Structures are given as C-alpha cells and as structure tokens.
C-alpha cells in the first residue's frame, strides 16, 4: 500500500508525517493547517528519510508490530511515566527509545529525528502522530532559539498581547474574549517566543486542542451553536471526556468537575475555533505587552496594582514540562537560556486585571487594557 504524507512547516522547522492510512495524514493537515503550514507532500521512498531532511513521523495501524515493541520493552526492562496524560512504559537501547501506552494500545520507537508509531486503531494513531509531529517541530524550534511560554496570545495588526498565569488564572478566557472582540487568536495556552536581533520578541502558535468550559461557552453566547453541531453528529476532539459530550447533548451548561477538582471541558480542534466558534486565527506576531489576570466572581472586573512580572517559571523547560516530558529525547541538549527572553518581555507594558464571571464587563476591561498597552 503506498504511503501518503503531510509536510508541516513552522518557522524554520519542517516535519513530515507519512502513513499507509490517508486518514492519518489528513488528520495532521487538519490539526496544524490553521496555525502552521500543513500541506500534502511527497512520501519518503525508503521509509526513513523525509524529502526535505526535516523530522519524520511514520504512523500506521499494525497490531502485530505494536505487540512486538511491547514484548521488547518487557524483555529490556522499563521505566514508567505519564505522557500526554497516559501511562507510558519506556526503554532505551543502543540510542533508540521504545515506548508503549498499554491502555491506548500504542507503541513507539524513536531516534531523535525519526519516530515510528503503531497501534490497533486509526484514530489513536492519528492523534499520536500529530502530537509527535508537534514535538519534532518543538525540538527544531528550540534548537533555533525559540522558547515555549505558558501563555495565551491574541493579535491585532501584527502585535500580540500575551496573557500569563497559573492554571485557572484566566488565560483562555482572556484570549477567547479578545478574539470575540475582533482580535486574532494565536494561542490559548502555550506560545513559542524568541528574541530577535533588534530586541523585539516574535511569537508563533503552539497548535493544540482548546479546552473551553461549558460555563464560558454559555457566557459568551457560543453554547447553542456548539450544541447544535454535536446534535447534528459532528465530533469534537477525541480527548474530550464522554460526560462532556453527554452534557452538550442534554443541554446542561453548568461546569463539570471531577472529584479531583479538575473541570472537564469541551475540547476543540484548532480548525473548529474558526468553523464552529467564528474566531479568526493568527499565525505570527510581535509581542506588544503582557496581561496577568485573576478570576474572582465576587468582585467587579478592574485593573489593580501588582508587582507580578514574567519570570522563568512561566517558561516550559525539561524540568517543568508536565504533559509532554521529553521521553523520546528530542529536545536539544543545550537550548538558549530563557533569561534574555524574560528580560525583553519584562520591558514591555503590562497590566494586572481582576476578572469576574460578567462577560460583557470583562470584555470592556480587556479592551481598555489592551488599547492602553498597544498605545504605549
């Protein structure tokens, strides 16, 4: 069966995803096409080299090969970790990394620039292929001086406002409300950033599924159009919990919270942010300022004095990465320190805000704050 391929380009990074299953390469085009360049490409002819010399992901449905890797890992011995929120067994032998995710029925082997993914079913293989393609892009961009920030980003006229904070601080809320107010959405949770020779900071998107809570969808007037799509049989991202789909079908709008306190949210493909929610997506920008929100439903939205500034704790590194630890050893051994980036971003205007659950009032405050920032 002939291979099909998708070529992904972000900045100077290039990765090819190849598979005997067209659904896998179609998935990558869909997943990355809104924020990065993802186009049909010539498949590698020898099964091991991308045409442009960039990274390569080979992904296929092959239960027998998956079991072979699992057997090999048991024979070699393994360590255990979580990768992409899944229990993962990892072995390393002779410069090759082998990994298995038993519950997902996926197996991997990798040698830094080339990764092979095999599994029992097409959809999990396609999801994993897109994830690993992004990891290869990340490795190339890190080697080229880029850094991953824990931030959302909204863009107007080529200038980006980055929103930073811990989980639950309001990064996604801020980006969504600004996008609803006419800004371009560049990232909802992570962003690539790099200091240029002139001292400016360029930013690129980190494509990912966007988690938007049921309450926020309702408050922004987006709930009904999402529910209509679900009732018509359209699918959100497969990582979404089944109870969220059930809530949408039943018309329930209250937040769904697990016993652990984690909220379960609808998970949107990147392209659904535009096709379902009507948002405009931005593909690159220059950083213009910083926002540091806090959410408190008991108060009115307001600006407040706060000495909060961006620090290296807002930067994802090998030690702070939680969802995607570098189990395949893709990250360059030496990457640029974040100190210069943090310093340059610290010179930009910034605002600290208290947001509430009043969407209109939040939007008015955010519009004023971002107008002030871009005027500075």
Task: List pLDDT tens digits, range 156-209.
Answer: 999 999 999 888 889 999 999 999 999 999 998 999 999 999 999 999 999 999
The number of CA neighbours under 13 Å toward the Cβ of 89 is 19
What is the pLDDT, as a whole number, of residue 42?
86
pLDDT at 45 over 70: no
- How many angstroms separate the CA atoms of 103 and 166, rounded? 30
- How many angstroms separate the CA atoms of 311 and 173, rounded? 22
What is the pLDDT, as a whole number, of residue 338?
81
Positive or negative: CA dihedral 38, 41, 47, 50? negative
What is the pLDDT, as a whole number, of residue 271?
94
% of the chain surpassing 90 pLDDT: 76
What is the pLDDT, as a whole number, of residue 374?
85
Question: For the ranges 38-47, 55-64, 68-77, 96-105, which has the lowest average pLDDT?
Answer: 38-47
What is the pLDDT, as a whole number, of residue 67?
95
Q: What is each CA distance from 6 to 9, 57, 61, 209, 251, in whole angstroms?
A: 10, 10, 17, 19, 38
- Kindly report the three-state secondary structure assignment for every residue of 28-96: HHHHHHCCCEEEECCCCCCCCCCCCCCEEEEEEECHHHHHHHHHHHHHHCCEEEEECCEEEEEEEECCE
Q: Taking all residues of the chain, what is their mean pLDDT, rounded to a whole number?
A: 91
> Whole-model pTM?
0.92
Residue 280, token pair as written in the block: 């405009």
Number of Cβ within a 10 Å radius of residue 263: 15
Q: Could you read off the pLDDT of 326-348 as tens digits, one per residue?
A: 899 888 776 666 888 999 999 99
- How many angstroms separate the CA atoms of 205 and 32, rounded? 10
116 touches 58 (CB < 8 A)? yes
What is the pLDDT, as a whole number, of residue 166?
84
Q: Could you read off the pLDDT of 207-263 as tens digits, one per residue?
A: 999 999 999 999 899 999 999 999 999 999 999 999 999 999 999 999 998 888 889
Q: How confident is the model at residue 292 (pLDDT cuts 50, 70, 90)?
A: very high
What is the pLDDT, as a whole number, of residue 50?
56
What is the pLDDT, as a whole number, of residue 51?
56
Q: What is each CA distance from 124 to 40, 43, 71, 105, in whole angstroms?
A: 21, 21, 20, 8
Instruction: Give residues with Cβ within 8 angstroms of 344, minimum separation 6.
Output: 195, 199, 200, 201
Question: For the ranges 15-24, 58-67, 109-118, which has the lowest average pLDDT?
Answer: 109-118
What is the pLDDT, as a whole number, of residue 280?
96
Which has more pLDDT, 111 or 15?
A: 15
pLDDT at 276 over 80: yes
Q: How confident is the model at residue 48 (pLDDT cuts 50, 70, 90)?
A: low
Helices of type H across the chain: 22-33, 63-76, 122-143, 171-180, 214-219, 223-231, 242-250, 272-275, 339-346, 359-375
Closest alpha carbon to 278 in 207, 238, 220, 237? 220
């Amino acid at each position: 069966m002939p291979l099909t391929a998708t070529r992904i380009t972000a900045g100077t990074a290039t990765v090819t995803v190849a598979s005997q299953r067209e659904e896998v390469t179609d998935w990558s085009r869909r997943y990355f096409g809104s924020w990065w360049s993802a186009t049909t490409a010539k498949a590698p002819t020898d099964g091991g080299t991308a045409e442009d010399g960039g990274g390569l992901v080979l992904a296929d449905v092959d239960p027998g090969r998956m079991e072979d890797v699992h057997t090999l890992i048991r024979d070699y011995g393994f360590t255990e970790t979580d990768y992409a929120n899944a229990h993962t067994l990892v072995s390393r032998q002779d410069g090759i990394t082998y990994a298995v995710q038993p519950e997902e029925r996926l197996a991997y082997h990798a040698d830094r620039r080339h990764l092979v993914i095999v599994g029992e079913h097409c959809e999990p293989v396609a999801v994993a292929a897109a994830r690993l393609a992004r990891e290869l892009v990340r490795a190339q961009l890190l080697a080229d001086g880029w850094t991953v920030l824990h931030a959302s980003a909204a863009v107007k006229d080529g200038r980006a406002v980055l929103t930073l904070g811990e989980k639950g601080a309001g990064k996604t809320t801020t980006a969504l409300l600004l996008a609803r107010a006419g800004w371009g959405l560049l990232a909802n949770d992570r962003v690539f950033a790099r200091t240029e020779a002139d001292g400016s900071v360029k930013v690129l998107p980190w494509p990912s599924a966007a988690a938007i809570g049921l309450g926020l969808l309702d408050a922004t007037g987006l709930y009904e159009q999402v529910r209509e799509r679900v009732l018509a049989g359209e699918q959100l991202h497969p990582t979404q919990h089944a109870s969220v789909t059930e809530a949408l079908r039943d018309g329930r709008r209250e937040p769904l919270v697990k016993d652990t306190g984690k909220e379960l949210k609808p998970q949107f493909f990147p392209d659904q942010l535009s096709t379902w929610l009507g948002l405009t997506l931005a593909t690159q920008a220059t950083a213009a300022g910083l926002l540091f929100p806090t959410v408190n439903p008991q108060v009115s939205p307001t600006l407040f004095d706060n000495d909060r500034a961006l620090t290296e704790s807002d930067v994802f590194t090998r030690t702070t990465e939680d969802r995607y630890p570098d189990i395949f050893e893709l990250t360059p051994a030496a990457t640029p320190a974040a100190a210069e980036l943090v310093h340059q971003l610290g010179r930009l205007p910034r605002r600290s805000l208290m947001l509430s659950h009043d969407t209109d009032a939040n939007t008015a405050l955010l519009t004023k704050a971002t107008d002030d920032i871009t005027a500075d």
